[in-house]
Amino acid sequence: MLIAGFPAGAWGTNCYLVAPAAGEECVIIDPGHQAAQGVEETLKKHRLKPVAVVLTHGHIDHVASVVPVCGAHDVPAWIHPADRYMMSDPEKALGRSIGMPLMGELTVGEPDDVHELTDGAALKLAGLELTVSHAPGHTKGSVTFGMPEAADIPPVFFSGDLLFAGSIGRTDLPGGDMAEMLDSLARVCLPLDDSTVVLSGHGPQTTIGRERATNPYLREVAAGGQGAGPAPRRGM
Protein backbone atom coordinates (compact mmCIF):
# COMPACT_ATOMS: atom_id res chain seq x y z
CA MET A 1 0.00 0.00 0.00
CA LEU A 2 1.19 3.49 -0.85
CA ILE A 3 -0.20 6.58 0.87
CA ALA A 4 1.57 9.84 0.03
CA GLY A 5 0.34 13.03 1.65
CA PHE A 6 1.37 16.66 1.80
CA PRO A 7 -0.03 19.92 3.28
CA ALA A 8 -0.98 22.55 0.73
CA GLY A 9 -2.03 26.17 0.47
CA ALA A 10 -2.97 28.92 2.86
CA TRP A 11 -4.77 26.54 5.25
CA GLY A 12 -2.22 23.72 5.24
CA THR A 13 -4.82 21.23 4.05
CA ASN A 14 -3.60 17.66 3.77
CA CYS A 15 -3.95 16.14 0.30
CA TYR A 16 -3.46 12.38 -0.02
CA LEU A 17 -2.70 10.08 -2.95
CA VAL A 18 -3.53 6.44 -2.29
CA ALA A 19 -2.56 3.43 -4.41
CA PRO A 20 -1.97 -0.30 -3.98
CA ALA A 21 1.70 0.33 -4.80
CA ALA A 22 4.02 2.62 -6.72
CA GLY A 23 3.52 2.51 -10.47
CA GLU A 24 -0.21 1.76 -10.22
CA GLU A 25 -3.53 3.61 -10.37
CA CYS A 26 -4.38 5.93 -7.48
CA VAL A 27 -7.13 7.96 -5.84
CA ILE A 28 -6.56 11.60 -4.87
CA ILE A 29 -8.21 12.81 -1.65
CA ASP A 30 -8.92 16.52 -1.06
CA PRO A 31 -6.78 18.47 -3.56
CA GLY A 32 -7.27 21.87 -1.95
CA HIS A 33 -5.81 25.35 -2.27
CA GLN A 34 -2.55 25.33 -4.27
CA ALA A 35 -2.42 21.52 -4.27
CA ALA A 36 -2.20 20.93 -8.03
CA GLN A 37 1.58 21.21 -8.25
CA GLY A 38 2.09 18.89 -5.29
CA VAL A 39 -0.29 16.39 -6.86
CA GLU A 40 1.67 16.39 -10.12
CA GLU A 41 5.00 16.04 -8.31
CA THR A 42 3.70 13.13 -6.24
CA LEU A 43 2.22 11.40 -9.29
CA LYS A 44 5.56 11.66 -11.06
CA LYS A 45 7.63 10.60 -8.05
CA HIS A 46 5.63 7.40 -7.54
CA ARG A 47 4.67 6.81 -11.22
CA LEU A 48 0.97 6.90 -10.40
CA LYS A 49 -2.07 7.21 -12.67
CA PRO A 50 -5.10 8.89 -11.04
CA VAL A 51 -8.56 7.45 -11.64
CA ALA A 52 -10.65 9.67 -9.34
CA VAL A 53 -10.70 12.57 -6.90
CA VAL A 54 -12.69 11.97 -3.71
CA LEU A 55 -13.64 14.75 -1.31
CA THR A 56 -14.31 14.67 2.42
CA HIS A 57 -16.35 17.87 2.18
CA GLY A 58 -16.85 20.97 0.06
CA HIS A 59 -14.94 23.79 1.78
CA ILE A 60 -12.63 25.65 -0.56
CA ASP A 61 -9.51 24.62 1.35
CA HIS A 62 -10.28 21.02 0.37
CA VAL A 63 -11.62 21.46 -3.19
CA ALA A 64 -9.83 24.46 -4.72
CA SER A 65 -7.69 22.33 -7.04
CA VAL A 66 -10.39 19.86 -8.06
CA VAL A 67 -11.10 21.46 -11.44
CA PRO A 68 -7.47 21.65 -12.63
CA VAL A 69 -6.58 18.20 -11.29
CA CYS A 70 -9.65 16.48 -12.75
CA GLY A 71 -9.23 18.37 -16.01
CA ALA A 72 -5.57 17.50 -16.40
CA HIS A 73 -6.22 13.78 -15.99
CA ASP A 74 -9.83 13.45 -17.24
CA VAL A 75 -11.06 11.88 -14.02
CA PRO A 76 -14.30 12.32 -12.04
CA ALA A 77 -14.76 13.90 -8.63
CA TRP A 78 -16.84 12.34 -5.87
CA ILE A 79 -18.59 14.49 -3.24
CA HIS A 80 -21.63 14.21 -0.96
CA PRO A 81 -24.68 15.92 -2.53
CA ALA A 82 -25.20 18.20 0.49
CA ASP A 83 -21.81 19.85 -0.16
CA ARG A 84 -21.81 19.80 -3.95
CA TYR A 85 -22.89 23.47 -4.25
CA MET A 86 -19.73 24.56 -2.44
CA MET A 87 -17.55 23.80 -5.44
CA SER A 88 -19.34 26.48 -7.46
CA ASP A 89 -20.12 28.93 -4.65
CA PRO A 90 -17.38 28.76 -1.99
CA GLU A 91 -18.33 32.08 -0.38
CA LYS A 92 -21.90 30.90 0.28
CA ALA A 93 -20.42 27.89 2.01
CA LEU A 94 -18.51 30.16 4.39
CA GLY A 95 -21.15 32.83 4.95
CA ARG A 96 -18.60 35.55 4.22
CA SER A 97 -16.15 36.76 1.61
CA ILE A 98 -12.87 34.88 1.42
CA GLY A 99 -11.18 37.89 -0.15
CA MET A 100 -10.62 39.02 -3.71
CA PRO A 101 -6.84 38.38 -3.71
CA LEU A 102 -7.46 34.74 -2.80
CA MET A 103 -10.43 34.41 -5.15
CA GLY A 104 -8.16 35.48 -7.99
CA GLU A 105 -6.07 32.35 -7.39
CA LEU A 106 -9.01 29.94 -7.45
CA THR A 107 -10.68 28.01 -10.25
CA VAL A 108 -14.26 27.97 -8.97
CA GLY A 109 -16.75 25.49 -10.39
CA GLU A 110 -17.39 21.80 -10.91
CA PRO A 111 -15.25 19.47 -12.99
CA ASP A 112 -16.90 17.92 -16.02
CA ASP A 113 -17.77 14.66 -14.25
CA VAL A 114 -19.14 14.66 -10.69
CA HIS A 115 -20.44 11.61 -8.81
CA GLU A 116 -22.32 11.82 -5.51
CA LEU A 117 -21.31 9.89 -2.40
CA THR A 118 -23.79 8.01 -0.20
CA ASP A 119 -23.45 6.78 3.36
CA GLY A 120 -22.21 3.22 3.57
CA ALA A 121 -21.08 3.04 -0.04
CA ALA A 122 -18.02 0.96 -0.85
CA LEU A 123 -16.05 2.80 -3.52
CA LYS A 124 -13.95 0.40 -5.56
CA LEU A 125 -11.38 2.56 -7.29
CA ALA A 126 -7.77 1.95 -8.34
CA GLY A 127 -7.77 -1.52 -6.82
CA LEU A 128 -8.79 -0.05 -3.45
CA GLU A 129 -11.99 -0.16 -1.44
CA LEU A 130 -12.97 3.01 0.43
CA THR A 131 -15.95 2.80 2.79
CA VAL A 132 -17.91 6.06 2.90
CA SER A 133 -19.41 7.25 6.19
CA HIS A 134 -21.60 10.35 6.21
CA ALA A 135 -20.35 12.43 9.14
CA PRO A 136 -22.11 15.82 9.34
CA GLY A 137 -21.12 18.38 11.93
CA HIS A 138 -18.38 20.36 10.21
CA THR A 139 -20.57 20.61 7.10
CA LYS A 140 -23.86 18.92 6.18
CA GLY A 141 -22.12 16.81 3.55
CA SER A 142 -18.95 15.84 5.39
CA VAL A 143 -17.84 12.23 4.90
CA THR A 144 -14.97 10.03 5.95
CA PHE A 145 -13.24 7.23 4.05
CA GLY A 146 -12.19 4.01 5.73
CA MET A 147 -9.81 1.36 4.43
CA PRO A 148 -9.48 -2.11 5.98
CA GLU A 149 -6.30 -3.58 7.36
CA ALA A 150 -3.92 -4.78 4.65
CA ALA A 151 -0.89 -7.03 4.74
CA ASP A 152 1.50 -4.16 5.34
CA ILE A 153 -0.62 -1.54 7.14
CA PRO A 154 -3.28 -1.29 9.87
CA PRO A 155 -6.76 0.08 9.08
CA VAL A 156 -6.69 3.65 7.76
CA PHE A 157 -9.31 6.35 8.38
CA PHE A 158 -9.34 9.52 6.28
CA SER A 159 -11.23 11.75 8.69
CA GLY A 160 -11.39 15.03 6.78
CA ASP A 161 -12.31 17.77 9.25
CA LEU A 162 -14.25 15.48 11.58
CA LEU A 163 -11.36 14.38 13.80
CA PHE A 164 -7.88 15.86 14.25
CA ALA A 165 -4.98 14.93 16.49
CA GLY A 166 -6.13 16.40 19.80
CA SER A 167 -9.18 18.19 18.43
CA ILE A 168 -12.17 18.15 16.07
CA GLY A 169 -13.42 20.28 13.19
CA ARG A 170 -15.00 23.66 13.77
CA THR A 171 -18.80 23.96 13.73
CA ASP A 172 -19.28 27.74 13.48
CA LEU A 173 -19.60 28.02 9.68
CA PRO A 174 -22.81 27.55 7.63
CA GLY A 175 -23.91 23.93 7.87
CA GLY A 176 -21.88 23.33 11.01
CA ASP A 177 -23.67 21.82 14.00
CA MET A 178 -22.08 20.72 17.27
CA ALA A 179 -24.83 18.20 18.06
CA GLU A 180 -24.31 16.57 14.67
CA MET A 181 -20.55 16.66 15.19
CA LEU A 182 -20.83 14.81 18.50
CA ASP A 183 -23.19 12.26 16.96
CA SER A 184 -20.75 11.68 14.08
CA LEU A 185 -17.85 11.23 16.49
CA ALA A 186 -19.84 8.66 18.46
CA ARG A 187 -21.24 6.85 15.45
CA VAL A 188 -18.26 6.92 13.08
CA CYS A 189 -15.12 7.21 15.22
CA LEU A 190 -15.77 5.39 18.47
CA PRO A 191 -16.44 1.96 16.88
CA LEU A 192 -13.06 1.98 15.10
CA ASP A 193 -10.24 -0.22 16.36
CA ASP A 194 -7.56 1.51 18.43
CA SER A 195 -4.93 0.54 15.84
CA THR A 196 -6.67 2.54 13.11
CA VAL A 197 -4.41 5.23 11.65
CA VAL A 198 -6.18 8.59 11.36
CA LEU A 199 -5.15 10.77 8.42
CA SER A 200 -6.99 14.04 8.88
CA GLY A 201 -7.62 17.16 6.83
CA HIS A 202 -5.17 19.24 8.87
CA GLY A 203 -2.24 18.46 11.13
CA PRO A 204 -0.30 15.27 11.88
CA GLN A 205 -1.47 11.69 11.70
CA THR A 206 -2.66 9.96 14.83
CA THR A 207 -4.48 6.78 15.85
CA ILE A 208 -7.94 6.12 17.20
CA GLY A 209 -6.38 4.65 20.33
CA ARG A 210 -4.37 7.80 20.99
CA GLU A 211 -7.40 10.02 20.42
CA ARG A 212 -9.63 7.84 22.55
CA ALA A 213 -7.14 8.29 25.39
CA THR A 214 -6.18 11.96 24.97
CA ASN A 215 -8.60 13.88 22.74
CA PRO A 216 -10.92 15.81 25.11
CA TYR A 217 -13.80 15.79 22.62
CA LEU A 218 -13.66 12.07 21.89
CA ARG A 219 -13.17 11.24 25.57
CA GLU A 220 -16.22 13.28 26.50
CA VAL A 221 -18.33 11.66 23.79
CA ALA A 222 -17.17 8.20 24.89
CA ALA A 223 -18.24 9.06 28.43
CA GLY A 224 -21.69 10.07 27.22
CA GLY A 225 -21.14 13.81 27.66
CA GLN A 226 -21.86 16.78 25.43
CA GLY A 227 -18.34 17.55 24.24
CA ALA A 228 -15.62 19.87 25.48
CA GLY A 229 -16.83 23.18 24.07
CA PRO A 230 -15.96 24.90 20.77
CA ALA A 231 -12.99 23.43 18.94
CA PRO A 232 -9.88 25.47 18.10
CA ARG A 233 -9.97 26.50 14.46
CA ARG A 234 -8.00 24.49 11.91
CA GLY A 235 -8.66 25.25 8.26
CA MET A 236 -12.20 26.21 7.36
Which one of 1.10.8.420, 3.30.1490.20, 3.60.15.10, 3.40.1640.10 gives the CATH number of domain 2-222? 3.60.15.10
Residue-level pLDDT at 101: 45
What is d(CA 17, CA 175) in angstroms, rounded to the nearest whole number?
28
Residue-level pLDDT at 151: 78
Residue-level pLDDT at 10: 87
Residue-level pLDDT at 100: 43
Is residue 81 within 8 A of residue 43, CB to CB? The reply is no
What is d(CA 80, CA 119) in angstroms, rounded to the nearest whole number?
9
Domain boundaries, the chain: 2-222
As averages over each run of 10 residues, the pLDDT of the chain (236 residues) reads 95 97 98 96 99 98 96 98 94 68 67 98 98 98 96 93 97 94 97 98 98 96 71 57
pTM for this prediction:
0.93
